[in-house]
Structure 1
Amino acid sequence: MATKVIQSLLIDGSFCEGGGQLLRNTVTLSALLSKPVSICNVRHNRKPPGLRKQHEAGIKLAAEICSADTTGVAVASTTVGFKPGTVHLPSTFSADPGTAASTTLLLQVSLPCLLFSSNTSEPSSLVLRGGTNATQAPQVDYIQHVFLPFMRKKMGLDVSLKINTRGYFPKGGGNVYCSISPMSGPLPAISLLERGAVTAIRGEARVGGLPLSLAKRMKEAGHQKLVSSGIPADIIQIDSVREKEGDAFGAGGGIVLWAETEGGCIIGGSAVSTKTKTPEEVGQGAAEELLLNLAHGGCVDEYLQDQIIIFLALAKGKSTIKTGPITMHTRTAVWVAEQMTGAKFALQENESDATIVCEGSGYSPQAS
């Protein structure tokens, strides 16, 4: 009997925001759904275009998880081929780009791939090395305090994360451990249309290899900005922390704030320390981002908005989520999800807010 040849789906990497997210989501869904892809114009809208070390590491991690054959996985490559095999769980995986590239972006690539198994309930382990608190990516604290709590509460994920060592730009050197328990059936659809009043604002201002006073200045500036904007002082609790010697590699810092609401929503705001900004500017920047995310009345912030698209596409049933203005990253994630999964999205947009509606594909390992 002749072997059936499955043609690769061609994905144009220049679509919409044309950056790394399109690449990550495409490879992730290819690995999970066993759909070969060919991605051209990789990171076409970035300077320089093509793969960087973090993208190379992410694709190699996804390839390891699903025993994929790949082509073009090298720095500066603008065309990538990815032909997945089978995902066998539970397993232990690791990734290290050898730079300060973000550990959280490596988690974005691998998490959906490790969430489903038809033959085990044992968790898989993931060790990610690189940067933990850097610009151009969610800080690991955002993942720990906003993304994962949201996904546990709303979609039933059983994922734990431990930060063994923090890695600051430009040295990297961080070490993050994740334990991911697989789901035997599809993710549930979710409906989030009423955020409810803010009941608490929490936060952490952290530094490593720097004086604690810098973290305290970030904290105080963030607190002052929130109070001056009408947030009651008695619902705000921000901690200032200096990492112990050996718990951080390099010198740096950042602050992550998150608001908890009556409707069970978690809204974030964050900023990373840089040489060009004072601690006060960093703290105020995080508070301003949180306030902006609260102002539109949506149930997710601008970063959670695009990160959950891939999960809505895999869920069973109709999900409806009120958000702020739709970002380019979200439009890109929606396009990739529709190309890869068969999920159908509708973006209902107003001037200041929007609603994302998704009829999910109902993916489960038994149906793969």
Structure 2
Amino acid sequence: MEMIELDGQAGGGQLLRTALSLSLCTGIGFTMQHIRAKRPRPGLLRQHLTAVGAAATVGQARVDGAELGATTLRFEPGSVVAGEYRFATGTAGSTTLVLQTVLPALWRCDAPSRLRLEGGTHNPMAPSADFLADTYLPALRHIGVDAALTLEKHGFYPAGGGVVHATVEPAGSLRQCTFDARGELLSIEAVALMSALSGSIGRRELAVLGERLGLPEAAMRLQRVQPAIGPGNTVLVRVRHAGHVETFAGHGERGVMAEQIAERLANEVREYLDADAHVGEHLADQLLLPMALAGGGAFTTTTVSDHLRSNAALIEKFLPVEIAWQQQAAHSWRVTVSP
């Protein structure tokens, strides 16, 4: 089996997840050293171990080094098998990141798969379940991926306890797509999710977003999460253009005022609205892998993040593609994936 050596110190868990996905898709094994070496808590955390375990399960892989805190991992993929799977982080670790790890391998199968994922659904440092359902998976449909996500139960940090269900259909040949014209702005809406916390927190967040984004009362909603497994607060903003929906999230933090959470989120949304770009920063990071598997594509985005740069370099080690970017305006970059 072909094996490659990877250095994980240039990024976080995303590099490991990308390597796992590409290993399953290409049949190329890898050894990654210095995993999350520059993070405050280096090495594998529980949610990373869940992603490794999920990849090993669907791909019948051999794994060495899958231990809590480990900074080196060896992964030898086998044959990917479609089926029904259940994966649980045991913490508030992100269900969506585990799903994104195995999704590319499963859509390449010749039969559908169903997954139940348990853990966090709305927490910092990970895409929310709403982002996947409303933004990520619809973008993948343009490329030729037929997958869906439903949220059964919310899970916030630190309690977790959330549940999502995903279905993945065989994709066949992927299409090379260009995302560079999001079209006319149709609507903006904001939702404050509250779990075992005072509704006044969400109302204060919505008041700031309403003022900063010019939202009418009808476009703002307070949603109480039931059953409330633990305290949690996420405020979501969905920006719907004719050709794309972008989902933004801000998460409540202990000791941080609700107004500050909402101001940060409003700044992120305003930067996107003011830019001549199709996709936001976080979707840009995540489009690279499916585009590379499709053999090419392009999109415009608001910024080229460190995540995007390190992810691009890793993808080029597995696949015969070249990923490049060029700035077009102050907040607009064009990213291209070429064979």
Same fold (TM over 0.5): yes
Structure 1 range deviating more: 213-222 or 65-74: 213-222
After superposition, give the CA deviation of every residue in 1:78-107 in whole Å (9 maximum; x if it has no partner). 110000000122x11122221111111111
Q: 1:95 to 1:146 in 2, by over 3 A?
A: same
User: Which residue, 113, 119, 134 being the options, matches 2:123?
Assistant: 134
Query: Which of 297, 306, 313 is the aligned partner of 1:319?
Result: 297
Letter in 1 for 2:152: N
Deviation digits for residues 231-252 of structure 1 (CA, Å, limit 9, x no counterpart): xx469723221112x2x42111
Per-residue CA shift, 1:324-353, capped at 9, x if unaligned?
221111111111111111122221224432
> Match for 1:256: what amino acid?
L
Aligned to 2:95: 103
Q: Which residue in 2 is equivalent to 1:198?
A: 185
Q: Pick closer, same or farther for the CA change 1:145–1:37 going to 2, 3 Å.
A: same
What is aligned with 1:94? 86
**Residue 238 (1) aligns with residue 220 (2):** yes
Q: What does 1:167-206 correspond to in 2, within 5 Å?
A: 167-183=155-171, 185-206=172-193
How many Å separate the matches in 2 of 1:107 and 1:86? 18
Amino acid at match of 2:315: A
Q: Work out which of the residue numbers 280, 286, 293 in structure 2 matches 1:307.
A: 286
Output the aligned Cα RMSD: 1.8
Q: CA deviation at 1:201?
A: 1.0
Q: Summarize the alignment of residues 53-72 of structure 1 with structure 2, pairs less than 5 Å apart.
A: 53-72=46-65
Distance 1:341 1:303 in 2: 22
- Partner amino acid for 2:195? G
- Indicate the SS of the match to 2:154: strand
**Which residue pairs with 2:327 in the alignment?**
349
Matched, 1:156 2:144: yes
Residue 256 of structure 2 corresponds to residue 261 of structure 1? no
**Structure 1 274/358 Cα, relative in aligned 2: closer, same or farther at 3 Å?**
same
| TM-score of the two chains, using structure 1 as the length reference | 0.87
Q: Relative to structure 1, is the Cα distance of residues 197 and 280 closer, same or farther in structure 2, using a 3 angstrom cutoff?
A: same
User: Structure 1 stretch 267-276 or stretch 20-29: which is displaced more?
Assistant: 267-276
Query: For the Cα contact (< 8 Å) 2:51–2:98, is it kept in 1?
Result: yes
2:28 is aligned with 1:43: no
Task: Return the letter of the residue paired with 2:312.
Answer: V
Aligned mates of 1:191, 1:289 — CA distance in 2: 23
Q: Which secondary structure state, in structure 1, belongs to the residue aligned with residue 20 of structure 2?
A: helix
Aligned to 1:146: 135
Deviations 1:138-160 (A, max 9, x none): 222222222223223x2232222
Q: For 1:253-292, what aligned pairs fall within 5 Å after superposition?
A: 253-262=233-242, 264-292=243-271
Paired AA for residue 346 in structure 1: A
Percent identity between matched residues is 28
* Structure 1 CA distance for aligned equivalents of residues 149 and 247 of structure 2: 18
8 A Cα contact 2:180 2:278, kept in partner: yes
Instruction: Name the SS for the 2:219 alignment partner.
Output: strand
Deviation at 1:218, TM superposition (A): 2.1
Instruction: Give yes or no for contact 2:140–2:290 (8 Å, CA) kept in 1.
Output: no
Task: Report deviation, 1:115.
Answer: 0.9
* Separation in 2, partners of 1:313, 1:198: 29
Q: Which residue of 1 is the match for residue 203 of structure 2? A: 216
Structure 2 residue aligned with 1:297: 276
Do the aligned partners of 1:254 and 1:282 also contact (CA within 8 Å) in 2?
no
**What is the CA–CA distance in structure 2 between the aligned matches of 1:355 and 1:192, rounded to whole Å?**
10
Deviations 1:125-148 (A, max 9, x none): 111111111111122222222222
Distance 1:25 1:284 in 2: 32
User: Is structure 2 residue 242 aligned with structure 1 residue 250?
Assistant: no
Contact 1:257 1:269 in 2 (8 A): yes
Task: For structure 1, list consecutive stretches of 5 or more residues without a partner in the other structure.
Answer: 1-5, 228-232, 361-368
* 2:213 aligned with 1:226: yes
The corresponding residue for 1:3 is none
Query: Which structure 1 residue ranges, 4+ long, deviate > 6 Å from structure 2?
Result: none
Residue 165 of structure 1 pairs with residue 153 of structure 2: yes
Aligned residues: 338
Residue 364 of structure 1 is matched in structure 2 by: none
CA contact (8 A) 2:121 2:162 kept: yes
Matched, 1:13 2:8: yes
- Whole-angstrom distance in 2 between the partners of 1:59 and 1:270: 26
| Structure 1 pair 236–82 and aligned structure 2 pair: CA distance change class (3 A) | farther
Question: Which residue does 2:72 correspond to in 1?
Answer: 79
1:27 equivalent in alignment to 2:20:
yes
Q: Does the CA contact (< 8 Å) of 2:130 and 2:247 recur in 1?
A: no
